[in-house]
């Protein structure tokens, strides 16, 4: 009996071995991965694994989430902060729409070379303060700053001699201010000295002599032609290319689609400081489309004409009265009958005064 059972077991094993296919190319089942494939798979998984954030980044994210609670005390507590920490707080404040003159003045550091205040409430006061401190400023973004005027922008161009990248414009108000400051970028050939063109220093010719890249999203045709003819060394709205622009590589800070301060908060998770209703403005500087409720150009001209007509109405009435009096005097002096009537009127007035 035991011999029969052993024969049956041996037959079963033999049949199983015959059915088993040892050739991986003929088998339709999933092959067993070899050591090389397993190693590659483990390397790809390890490379795709996200790096753990640093403790400093986590702390800055928490501070950014509660920024409105400490923003009034920045002038006192920001003095002891390193320059890079100040830059992070400035970037978060801008993206949370909390950046104004007080915050900018409290966080400004003399070692800064890049400043992004786009879309904020910064005015001439804050900008002039930063310009007076940051002498090595190389790139700045003031797009969509509706509180800036030509005074602040002129101060920026006149004092920042090392400025290479400038971002401005972006809305109607900013474009108006920018067009008033275009003359500061043009060469001044009236007050220069030297025996030859080679002896002239670029600083003597142009107030913003070091400016190389200009980002102006809403530039008009006339301004584009002016910059092309008068300031050929300034590249307007450069587009990154594989071989660069005119043989020169376009810096990342001059790319319109990228925010100037992206690198500052790249290691900080936006979810740690983002609040409801306020999203990180990575692409916030892309100019939005015109609102359907926006007035047409013809309507704007009509309203401007009516406003001007209303302001000039009192002056027109005054001129009309002056012309009428002048015409009456000329009529009295030229017409004999009118002169006689005028003399008779004066005589009657004098007689009445004597009788009184």
DSSP letter for each residue of 271-306: HHH-BTTB---TTTTSPPPPPTTSPPHHHHHHHHHH
Contacts of 270-276 with CB under 8 Å at 24 or more apart are 271/61, 272/58, 272/61, 272/62, 272/64, 272/65, 273/60, 273/61, 273/62, 273/63, 273/64, 273/65, 273/67, 273/92, 273/96, 274/65, 275/65, 275/96
Reading the block at residue 249, the tokens are 């590589």
So what's the pLDDT on residue 132? 93
Same domain, residue pair 226 and 176:
yes
Domain count of the fold of the chain: 2
So what's the pLDDT on residue 196? 45
Residue 125 contacts residue 101 (beta carbons within 8 Å): yes
Same domain, residue pair 155 and 229:
yes
So what's the pLDDT on residue 17? 39
Q: Would 67 be classed as within a structural domain?
A: yes
Same domain, residue pair 249 and 183:
yes
Q: Would 31 be classed as within a structural domain?
A: no
Last residue of a domain, one of 258, 273, 288: 273
So what's the pLDDT on residue 188? 61
Residue 111 contacts residue 136 (beta carbons within 8 Å): yes
Angstrom distance (rounded) from CA 354 to CA 356: 5
Same domain, residue pair 127 and 218:
yes
Q: Would 129 be classed as within a structural domain?
A: yes
Same domain, residue pair 203 and 329:
no
Q: How many CB atoms within 10 Å of residue 263?
A: 14
Same domain, residue pair 96 and 224:
yes
Q: Would 1 be classed as within a structural domain?
A: no
Last residue of a domain, one of 238, 258, 273: 273
Q: How many CB atoms within 10 Å of residue 284?
A: 15
Same domain, residue pair 80 and 114:
yes
Same domain, residue pair 261 and 304:
no
Same domain, residue pair 91 and 226:
yes
Same domain, residue pair 327 and 217:
no
Residue 259 contacts residue 281 (beta carbons within 8 Å): yes
- pLDDT < 50 positions in the chain: 1-3, 5-7, 9-10, 13-14, 16-39, 45, 48, 191-192, 194-207, 276-292
Q: Would 30 be classed as within a structural domain?
A: no
The CATH number linked to 76 is 3.80.10
Range of the domain at 326: 297-342
Same domain, residue pair 210 and 255:
yes
So what's the pLDDT on residue 273? 66
So what's the pLDDT on residue 244? 57
Q: Phi and psi of 248, rounded to 5°?
A: -115, 135
Q: Would 286 be classed as within a structural domain?
A: no
Q: Would 185 be classed as within a structural domain?
A: yes
């Amino acid at each position: 009996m035991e011999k029969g059972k052993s024969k049956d077991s041996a037959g079963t094993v033999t049949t199983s071995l015959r059915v088993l296919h040892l050739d991986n190319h003929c088998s339709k089942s999933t092959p067993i991965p070899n050591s090389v494939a397993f190693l590659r798979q483990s390397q790809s998984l390890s490379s795709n694994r996200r790096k753990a954030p640093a403790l400093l980044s986590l702390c800055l994210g928490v501070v950014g989430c509660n920024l409105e609670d400490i923003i009034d005390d920045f002038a006192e507590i920001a003095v002891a902060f390193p320059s890079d920490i100040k830059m992070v707080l400035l970037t978060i404040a801008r993206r949370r729409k909390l950046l104004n003159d007080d915050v900018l003045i409290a966080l400004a550091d003399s070692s800064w070379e890049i400043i992004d205040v786009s879309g904020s409430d910064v005015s001439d006061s804050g900008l002039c303060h930063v310009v007076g401190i940051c002498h090595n400023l190389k790139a700045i973004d003031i797009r969509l700053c509706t509180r800036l005027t030509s005074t602040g922008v002129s101060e920026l161009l006149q004092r920042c001699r090392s400025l290479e990248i400038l971002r401005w414009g972006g809305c109607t108000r900013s474009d108006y201010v920018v067009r008033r400051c275009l003359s500061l970028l043009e060469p001044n050939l009236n007050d220069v000295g030297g025996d030859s063109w080679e002896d002239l220093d670029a600083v003597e010719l142009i107030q913003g002599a070091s400016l190389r890249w200009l980002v102006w999203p809403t530039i008009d045709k006339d301004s584009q032609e002016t910059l092309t003819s008068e300031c050929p060394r300034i590249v307007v709205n450069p587009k990154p290319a594989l071989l660069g622009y005119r043989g020169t590589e376009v810096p990342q800070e001059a790319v319109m689609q990228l925010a100037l301060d992206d690198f500052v908060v790249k290691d900080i998770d936006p979810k740690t400081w983002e609040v409801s209703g306020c999203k990180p403005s990575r692409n916030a500087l892309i100019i939005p489309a015109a609102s359907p409720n926006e007035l047409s150009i013809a309507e704007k001209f009509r309203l401007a004409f009516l406003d001007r007509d209303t302001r000039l109405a009192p002056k027109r009435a005054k001129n009309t009265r002056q012309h009428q009096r002048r015409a009456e005097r000329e009529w009295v002096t030229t017409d004999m009958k009118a002169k006689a009537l005028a003399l008779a009127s004066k005589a009657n007035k004098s007689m009445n005064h004597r009788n009184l």
